[in-house]
Amino acid sequence: MSTLTLDAFSRRSNVLARRGMVATSQPLAAMAGLRMLLEGGNAADAAVATAAALAVVEPMSTGIGGDAFALFYDAAAAPQQRISALNGSGRAPAGLHLEDLRRAGLSEIGLESPHSVTVPGTVAAWADLLARHGTMPLAVVLQPAIEYARDGFPVSELIAASWQRGEARLGRLPSGRELLPGGRAPRLGEVVQLPELARSLQAIADGGAAAFYQGEIGRRIAAFVQELGGCLAVGDLASHRSTWDQPIAIDYRGLRVWECPPNGQGLAALLALGIVAHDDLAAAAPAERWHLLIEAMRLAWADARRWVADPAFVDLPLAELLAAPYLAGRRSQIDPRRANLAPASGLPNADRRPLQPAPRADTVYLSVVDGQGNACSFINSLFHGFGSGLVAPGTGVALQNRGALFDLNPDHPNCLAPGKRPYHTIIPALATRGDELWACFGVMGGFMQPQGHLQVLVNLLDLAMLPQEALDAPRFCLPDGEPGGPVAVEAGAGEALIAELRARGHDVTVMAGMERTLFGVGQVICRDVDSGVLTAGSDPRRDGCALGW
């Protein structure tokens, strides 16, 4: 069998449909969502079914031990109430204090530390999305996921490779073997059953979110984390709540682009779009366009890395950051001939701190639009592969390590505090024209995500690409969201473009093969406002597909 590579992209066509569409990174999960649409469910029902299936078939990337965010477009609501933002991220334990960690000599929270485990918000997010926007009960939409976990599913080559990368991490403790069937990571084509995870999903189907947060699953999670020296307690899980927030948005090329507000990093995408909103990107030469987008992203990161934090704890200057005068001032700082390798936030007293490295494509994103025009842009993650690598015994639940993104500098907005939500990388997006849905989209993959939103939208709007072409096109990335750092460029961008970027002072690294996972994985569903026809694309950098009917 040939060695796995991402260099030879197969040609993909756009997928068109009228009654509904699901696009995500794994075909079995896309089919789970389509099943809900075929059975009369709507976009919310299909989104949760897809997300739950992904928690089984891509267990290194997502799961009920992680967090989720969603943007929902309700076609039947009044225009000003059509878009809602669901924050399904969990909080730091009430017993985890900054002072204790600093006294212990820690300058950061380790990626595999029990202190990195924040309350998992996924299950509550699923239940709350269905309660507000769905038409089916949780017990119904979880059935495909339960079937995959209980009866088995075949492992694809990309998922097998990701599973093997996490094998050592899972093998550190006996409970990790619950996600190592047969004592090792599965190989391509093997049929895998995850009985402990199946039982946990069935308990949630039977008892709702309470079975997770107030039941035996939650008790096992808390006891396990405390056994390892962490602070997560049953009270932290029992008191967890999702929040519904007012989304943030900016106008771009006649559209309104929507993101979830902080503690997510969607702000970075909106800042970059606002900085280049008045440039004629379509007329620019490729190197000129890429330079401008990279420089806009550098400036956006300088602000986002400083200001993205939990707004329940810190007043964040979102209106000022997204105001036209501020964005124009940021645009004026871009030198068309030279890279700025030391960008700073444009607001006073705004230093920034390094964040823990984010995973490369260890997240799942899904896009759903139903026949009534409702849409759900949904993202679910454990942060790193299998999260912290800690699996609560008897549950099959890998616990996320989002707490590693807290800052331990007490003067930073993202500093650790009990009950606080950390900086979050996962971001869904929507775009509307007037009051009507135009696109439901996202690009997952750590700090690549806002950079992916920027580039995919520019491809769609400025370069008039269809969804699949917009996803196929080569991308750049500022790895780990480092504003002044090097630029990774995907193989296929062209030698002339790369040479011109280097001439402008960018430290360019070209990435090929499996390194291309750095550039994220996107899904796009566009909706024709007049005909209602859905046109979808699915990123060739992963196994997924778009399915419609």
Which residues participate in catalysis according to the annotation?
363
The H-assigned helical ranges of 255-388 are 266-276, 286-307, 318-321, 324-331
The three-state secondary structure class of 509 is: strand
Sheet architecture: strand order including 545-548: 243-245, 83-88, 67-73, 375-381, 364-370, 20-24, 545-548
Contacts 24+ apart (CB under 8 A), 497-501: 497/286, 497/287, 497/290, 500/287, 500/291, 501/287, 501/290, 501/291, 501/294
Contact (CB, 8 A) for 135 and 40: yes
Q: Is 455 helix (H, G, I), strand (E, B) or coil?
A: helix
Q: Rounded to an integer, what distance in angstroms lies between the CA atom of residue 493 and that of residue 508?
A: 12
Strands 248-252 and 255-259, sheet pairing: antiparallel
Structural contact between residues 390 and 398, judged by C-beta atoms closer than 8 angstroms: yes
DSSP state for residue 505 in the 8-state scheme = T
- What lies within 8 Å, CB to CB, of 192 at 6+ separation is 152, 153, 154, 155, 181, 186
240, 259 contact by CB (below 8 A): no
- For residue 188, with 0-12 CB atoms within 10 Å meaning exposed, 13-18 middle and 19 or more buried, which class applies? middle
> Hunting for tokens 């948005």 — which residue is that?
249
Contacts for 358 with CB less than 8 Å, ≥ 6 apart = 383, 425, 445, 446, 447, 448, 480, 481
Query: How far apart (Å, rounded) are the C-alpha atoms in residues 386 and 159?
Result: 12
DSSP element (H, E) containing 326: helix 324-331
Q: Hey, what amino acid is at 362? A: D
Distance CA 202, CA 181 (A): 19
Token readout for 199 is: 């039982």
Q: Contact 457/431 with Cβ under 8 angstroms?
A: yes
Going 14 to 17 to 23 to 27, the CA torsion angle's sign is negative
Dihedrals φ, ψ of 88, to 5°? -105, 35
Beta bridge partners of 127: none
Structure-block tokens of residue 295: 């420089």
Q: State the sign of the Cα–Cα–Cα–Cα dihedral 244, 41, 34, 205.
A: positive
Say which amino acid occupies 280.
D
Phi, psi of 510 (to 5 degrees): -95, 130
Q: Is there a contact between 353 and 51 (Cβ–Cβ < 8 Å)?
A: no
Rg of the Cα atoms in the chain = 22
Nearest in space to 261 (alpha carbons), one of 271, 252, 253, 251: 271
